[in-house]
Structure 1
């Protein structure tokens, strides 16, 4: 406990009076742990926290987790600003500083981008950001950009292990070229897979509010021979009455976790499916059609 002189009793000095002083314990943590804490925050907050201490001044530059959210929900502005232009400039400057101060062999673990307005100029900038992430050997790529078309460089990225796509355009068959992909999550988009796609390393697949024809759905699921975790939420199958689970070629020998939420299917198909899943450990149902308010977890 620190000791210092303090004034008390009308200015009379008292020697060696114990006082409680604030201790910065977070800055004493190793860089890897601080970066992990940072991974849960949008990058703009990391930049704002750079003034907390000297050690934190460049911590945001070295973080392997980049999360850019155009909403700026927690940022207060003193005047009206063009948030879209400000966001584009912010991301561009962050990547520029990172490239300037980081070593060439510095890798990215995660790159997450949430951007809702996509003009022609913005699309080119997003392309450059994605390419920059790929060049940094990014492992996890999370893109929520409505109408954005994935550039070809993504389909040849050997470092990618996790993909999360929301409201954008992509070639599902081309994703099968990613030899290290273990997790795929698709949200708020249309799935088009006219041909059978092979995903030999994929273990986790989530389809959330996805619109698909029956053939595309079958081609995707059938191409995952070692999948362990399958999540289907609010899945809409075009030109098909309900989802016939019995006819889908599920990986019966590997599937351990199955989640079905707001998905229509027949009773017979469901019973047939469950009887085939020999290693199933957890089944989660959230279904409100024939069986009212059924929520089960086994």
Structure 2
């Protein structure tokens, strides 16, 4: 009877392998392609098949360690540590393309804090990974990197994605100086404590802030974004940070989602619309027209707007209805190339506004009402 290897359910390799093992005879490139359809745990377990497979998994260019595939965080942590130790023990360093961590990261007994993750990041960047992601699905507090050397220093890193992390000025300053080729930054549900984002290399920036109030900054401050080569910008509900876009003159696609805590007061002087005059697609959505702080700040900014000569798609939230649809009229008059207009309303409260219907006929646009879930 063939014996199963402990914890794998696979027959012992010595009894299974034979001269008719055609799979092992396939070239490395094809076997690695098949491995990309396996979980990391399954891929690493192939070392038990035969000597032919022993180091093959370590040649994978994309590593994705997902804690959802493990019964406990302790098991997950041990697995990643051992897998990277095996990889590091190879005679020659195998370069990486991408490295992804998906884990719960807090300080409870069965968890990982940043001290456990830092060596993984260094392994990935020492392996010349150009894409790196730390994904944290939930947890009692954002992951903090304070007290450690800046982890993302690399001349190869082009794409960085972080979820549920604390992002402060220390992070932003080091990101600008230590990642000379970074062009794509995605901050998902992070605690944003930054006052200045500056980069000459970034082409895509996406920030979706945390919805946990205890992680909000204590007071309102400006957050300045100065990225002259940025092409795509997405900002969603950054609390207690007055958004000021300094130089984003290359942006073609911009999405800005605001809410009641987006600005300190209605007299805040922020540059948002006025900084995006070169955009071809523009979305500016706020929670409601009745939240007067957001519409007033945006109306002040409208006075500084130049012509949106290349704008073809415009998507606005309910704030456009303030002052008799003045913001909408103002933007339409400044957008001679506009082809598509989307007005996002709460369908439970509104039907098509008569004033919007008249605007549709007057400007000859494709007009579409959409609810928030269809934004």
Q: Which position in structure 1 is the counterpart of 2:258?
A: none
1:189 partner SS: strand
**1:8-48: CA deviation from partner (whole Å, max 9, x where unpaired):** xxxxxxxxxxxxxxx97xx568359818x72x764224335
- Shift of residue 136, structure 1, vs aligned partner: 1.1
Q: Which position in structure 2 is the counterpart of 1:64?
A: 61
Q: Distance in 2 between matches of 1:245 and 1:295?
A: 30
Change (3 A) 1:49 1:205: same
For the pair 1:240 / 2:257, whether they are aligned, the reply is no
Matches within 5 A, 1:146-157: 147-150=142-145, 151-157=148-154
Q: Which position in structure 2 is the counterpart of 1:17?
A: none
For the pair 1:143 / 2:146, whether they are aligned, the reply is no
How many residue pairs are counted as aligned between the two chains? 261
Q: Any conservation in 1 of the 2:32–2:60 contact (CA below 8 Å)? A: no
Match of 1:94 among 74, 83, 96: 83
Q: Distance in 1 between matches of 2:104 and 2:315?
A: 32
Change (3 A) 1:91 1:214: same
2:82 partner SS: helix
Q: Which position in structure 1 is the counterpart of 2:186?
A: 185
2:76 partner SS: helix
Q: Which position in structure 2 is the counterpart of 1:202?
A: 202
Which structure carries more relative contact order (alpha carbon 8 Å, separation 6+)?
A: 1
**1:127-150: CA deviation from partner (whole Å, max 9, x where unpaired):** 111111121122111112453223
Give the TM-score taking structure 1 as reference length. Answer: 0.68
Change (3 A) 1:181 1:240: same
Q: Distance in 2 between matches of 1:50 and 1:244?
A: 61
Deviates more, 1:237-246 or 1:180-189: 237-246
Q: Distance in 1 between matches of 2:266 and 2:159?
A: 30
Change (3 A) 1:198 1:114: same
Q: Distance in 2 between matches of 1:257 and 1:245?
A: 24
Change (3 A) 1:249 1:176: farther
- Shift of residue 61, structure 1, vs aligned partner: 1.4
For the pair 1:224 / 2:227, whether they are aligned, the reply is yes
Deviates more, 1:157-166 or 1:147-156: 147-156
Change (3 A) 1:34 1:191: same
Q: Distance in 1 between matches of 2:203 and 2:44?
A: 35
Matches within 5 A, 1:1-298: 30=29, 34=33, 38=36, 42-48=39-45, 58-72=55-69, 83-101=72-90, 103-104=92-93, 106-119=94-107, 122-145=113-136, 147-150=142-145, 151-170=148-167, 171-177=171-177, 178-194=179-195, 196-210=196-210, 215-217=221-223, 219=224, 221=225, 223-237=226-240, 238=261, 239-240=263-264, 247-248=271-272, 252=276, 255-259=279-283, 265-266=294-295, 268=299, 276-280=307-311, 287=317, 291-292=345-346, 294-295=369-370
Change (3 A) 1:114 1:85: same
- Shift of residue 248, structure 1, vs aligned partner: 2.6
- Shift of residue 95, structure 1, vs aligned partner: 0.5
Q: Distance in 2 between matches of 1:118 and 1:179?
A: 30
Give the TM-score taking structure 2 as reference length. Answer: 0.55
Q: Distance in 1 between matches of 2:130 and 2:123?
A: 13
Question: Unpaired runs of 5+ in structure 1?
Answer: 1-22, 76-80
Change (3 A) 1:134 1:70: same
Q: Any conservation in 2 of the 1:192–1:216 contact (CA below 8 Å)? A: no
Q: Any conservation in 1 of the 2:99–2:129 contact (CA below 8 Å)? A: yes
Q: Any conservation in 2 of the 1:226–1:254 contact (CA below 8 Å)? A: no
1:152 partner SS: coil
**1:167-213: CA deviation from partner (whole Å, max 9, x where unpaired):** 1124223211121110011111221222x432101111111235677
